[in-house]
Amino acid sequence: MLSLRLLTKYGIHANLDKKKVRALSSFQSARKGGKMNTIDLIKSRTSYRGTYLSTKVPREHLKLIMEAGLAAPSGCNKQTTRLIAVDDEDTLAKLHEVIASPLGETAPAMICVLAKKIIAYRDRCYYIQDYAAAIENMLLAIIDLGYQSCWVEGHITDTDQICRKMADILEVPNDCELVCFLPVGIAEKECQKAVKLPFEERAWFNKFGGR
């Protein structure tokens, strides 16, 4: 389990005290038969921080997930995002040694997201938006294929710069920055859906606050 400090840091504490919403993961609903439509799939996505089954993720699936990521829009189509899928046990072990967190530790694969700071125009560089779009596409593809994941960026880009140690292990060149990793695997436990603010507090029609 993650420590309370980490849970609080990443805004997950709401889950601990508020009513526990035990949502079946898409994997579990997929197991019961029937694929979700796109809107339901998007709404069902949630960060999974539990343990994973040891079942391997086939390369075809890792490729499909990465293709979904690379299909994302990018500023001026500069395609600044690069991806490395890791499914080699020794490499995973080395990465988790530096990650030093139970987060995704049991997942049989992970996708590391790299950003290349290519200028879009003038001094504008959209690499953050580009990789964020790629990550969301991948998270949705991961769920669609019956796996679970979590966007892990805060933990590895904090002051201790775990991301740099991970980049060294993966022989990432200097012009790319490792910014995030996504564990990929079949969830062993049920997902707990994060509590979101009501629609009316965050989205409106025609003007700020408009109904």
CB 158 to ligand FMN: min, Å: 8
Query: Rule CB under 6 A: is residue 95 a binding residue for ligand FMN?
Result: no
Q: Residue 138's Cα: distance from chain center in Å?
A: 7
Query: Rule CB under 6 A: is residue 155 a binding residue for ligand FMN?
Result: yes
How many angstroms separate the Cα of 80 from the Cα of each of 110, 133, 181?
20, 11, 16
Which residues on adjacent β-strands are paired with residue 83? 113
Query: Rule CB under 6 A: is residue 82 a binding residue for ligand FMN?
Result: no
Encoded tokens for 174 = 């200097």
Helix, strand or coil for residue 158? coil
Q: Which residue, 10 or 52, is less far from ligand FMN as judged by CB?
A: 10
Query: Parallel, antiparallel, or unpaired for β 191-192 and 22-23?
Result: antiparallel
Q: How many angstroms separate the CA atoms of 37 and 117, rounded?
A: 35
Site string for ligand FMN, 40-79 (x = CB under 6 A): ------xx-x------------------------------
With CB under 6 A as the rule, give the number of residues binding ligand FMN: 14
Question: Residue written as tokens 């979904």?
Answer: 68
Query: Rule CB under 6 A: is residue 195 a binding residue for ligand FMN?
Result: no
Site string for ligand FMN, 2-41 (x = CB under 6 A): --------xxx-----------------------------
Q: Which residue, 82 or 155, is less far from ligand FMN as judged by CB?
A: 155
DSSP state, residue 81? E
Query: Rule CB under 6 A: is residue 87 a binding residue for ligand FMN?
Result: no
* Cβ(61)–Cβ(145) below 8 Å: yes
Q: Residue 133's Cα: distance from chain center in Å?
A: 11
Q: Which burial class, exposed, middle or buried, applies to 187 when counting CB atoms under 10 A from its CB (0-12, 13-18, 19+)?
A: buried
Query: Rule CB under 6 A: is residue 194 a binding residue for ligand FMN?
Result: yes
CB 99 to ligand FMN: min, Å: 10
CB 21 to ligand FMN: min, Å: 11
| Chain residues that interact with ligand FMN, rule: CB under 6 A | 10-12, 46-47, 49, 103, 150-155, 194
